[in-house]
Amino acid sequence: MALRATIHKADLHVADSDRHYYGSHSLTIAKHPSETEERMMVRIIAFALQAQEELAFTKGLSDTDEPDLWVKDLTDAIQLWIEIGQPDERRILKACGRSDQVIVYCYGGHTSKIWWDGIANKLTRARNLQVISIPAEQAKELNKLVERSMVLHVNIQDGEAYVSSDMGQVTITPEIWRNQQQ
């Protein structure tokens, strides 16, 4: 018998003074059986850092043709494609061809650095790609905030995200490894 996804609910309140975005989102997150709580929380942080009304979770790990998060316009064209982890360069290039903007959030510390150093040269023509690293220690700390039903407050200022809930607080300082080229 196949294992089923675990459903988590999150009331996410985002105050992003860097982008002047302030909003609340009621999220239903399906945690795939092979997904760690750490990866699920990085998905939520990626949502908070890119928050906008049209941003949505996809089938993620259950569908290899979809990213973890995306924004589609009214014509069903993909405006923003967000991957979590360490996708291979073919997947990233395919995403860059299908979307206006692609963001990869990696969180594995040293292993992420090895992954990025190995594929960075192969992605030089991907002008719409941004790669952001969540430091490994900070990503691990997010585990202490996990509940089946969460209320998360994310305040973003000067490039740092302050994530708090009844379970504690974590500061996330994303590192931009590659900016989108204009």
Domain count, the chain: 1
Average pLDDT of the chain to the nearest whole number:
94
Residue 60 has pLDDT above 90, yes or no: no
Inside any domain, residue 1? no
Inside any domain, residue 104? yes
Inside any domain, residue 167? yes
Bridge partners of 100, per DSSP, are none
Inside any domain, residue 50? yes
pLDDT tens per residue across span 3-45 = 788 999 999 999 999 999 999 999 999 998 889 999 999 999 9
Q: Which CATH number goes with the domain that contains 85?
A: 3.10.640.10
Identify the three-state secondary structure at position 14: strand
Q: Side chain identity at 79, as an amino acid letter?
A: Q
**Taken in order 61, 62, 64, 67, is the CA torsion positive or negative?**
negative
Q: Kindly state the average pLDDT of the residues 125-154.
A: 97
pTM above 0.85, yes or no: yes
Inside any domain, residue 59? yes
Antiparallel, parallel or unpaired: β 99-106 and 56-57: unpaired
Q: Kindly state the average pLDDT of the residues 44-55.
A: 97
Range of the domain at 55: 6-178
Helix H segments across the chain?
37-49, 89-98, 110-119, 136-141
What's the rounded Cα separation, in Å, for the pair 129 and 151?
Answer: 31
Inside any domain, residue 38? yes
